[in-house]
Amino acid sequence: MFLDTRGIAPRTLERRIDNQAYGGLGPMLLGISWTECVIATILVLLRAYGARYRAGALRWDFVFVAVGTVLGIVTQVLFVFACLNGVGDHVKNLSYPQLFASLKYSWIGVVIGLVATTVAKLGIIALLLQVATPAQKKRKAFLWALAVFVCIVGIAQMTITLTQCSPTDRLWYRTKPGNCDRTHFAAQFGYFQGATAIFADNVLAFYKVTIVWNLQASWRVKAGFCVLMAGGILPATAAIIRTYYIKRLENPKDFTWEFVPFLSWACTELWFVIILGSIPPLRPLFKRWFGKVKSNLTESGNPTSKSTKTGTHRGTYPLQSVNAHGSKNQFSAHVMTNMDGSSEENILASSMKEQAETIVVSKEYTVELER
């Protein structure tokens, strides 16, 4: 990407008192991105409250998403400084110090935002790896390969972006002696990185749908989960639009104005990854808060209307029973519950016992039946 300064009239390097750099498309960029940031941060904080542990250990999917969120907030702060120095306004309205500062904050923000998006996607992959059972070796290998691929492409894009100019800071200090001979290559690789981001987002979205679709559950439950999890195509949509705007940035004459759509969609991609990746782990917490938790116990794997400890009358399928003994017929059953202790509806069936045990906590109850 190259900033054409030929159309900029020479002017003093001092900041002009009458120059109001913040304006134009800047408020729109900050308004959209900060709204998405706040929503994502709230969901991550809720996740920290109710779904950060698994079997007593810190969940890796939460760690990745938390790191991605922190880096995303850093990106947002950098974009604030960029807008205060002129991003969103026309180049002709800016002094050279403002122009160079706006480019500096923008490019650093783009690089950190790229790292944040990559780390957030690793959080989704880590969550899917936890769901996979030891027997699903091919699925796990595919997810690991996808994670490595996403990391390699992300690191390469970051390196190419920062080294397209020599010296590096000529990327924003355009009057500094040097060259930017690798700008075209950086733009071309940007298309490739965008394509891989679109591919990864779609794969992760539809991979989750295949998991839900194989569960023994009602059509209503399946449809609801598929719609929720297929929302992962939204980051892919944002990546498509972001990639489209790369072409406009190769040789812009009004860089600070034309940079805004790219930055806006890059932020949307990042925050959509975090938002949509945080909703499924929070489902048990939402169910508990809204009073929709149902925990039931039945005999022989068939749902009955017997009341359970929560007083509800909807059954679930016990996963295991033991032999009767003594004068009373005693048996134990493991009822599937979610990670924070609240019971799920009958989403997983006994045929998926091995898979279920990797994503739920079992509680054992003993029921005594008088002869």
Dist CA 347 CA 212 (whole Å) = 9
Dist CA 166 CA 179 (whole Å) = 5
Which residues sit opposite 89 in a β-bridge? 87
DSSP label of 343: B
Return the CATH number of the domain spanning residue range 26-289: 1.20.1070
H or E segment to which residue 57 belongs = strand 57-58
User: Which among 152, 153, 132, 157 is positioned nearest to 142, based on CA atoms?
Assistant: 132
Q: What integer is the mean pLDDT of 52-68? A: 79
Q: CA of 33: how far to CAs of 67, 96, 122, in Å?
A: 18, 26, 21
Tokens found for residue 312? 């509800």
pLDDT at 36 over 50: yes
Q: What is the pLDDT of residues 114-171, one digit of tens each?
A: 999 999 999 999 988 888 878 888 889 999 999 999 999 999 999 999 999 999 889 8
Structural domain boundaries in the chain: 26-289, 293-371
pTM for the model stands at 0.71
Does residue 180 contact residue 137 with C-beta atoms inside 8 Å?
Answer: no
Does residue 243 contact residue 190 with C-beta atoms inside 8 Å?
Answer: yes
pLDDT for the residue 249: 77
Q: Is 44 helix (H, G, I), strand (E, B) or coil?
A: helix
pLDDT-based confidence at residue 1 (cuts at 50, 70, 90): very low
Using omega within 30 degrees of 0 as the cis cutoff, is the peptide bond preceding 280 cis? no
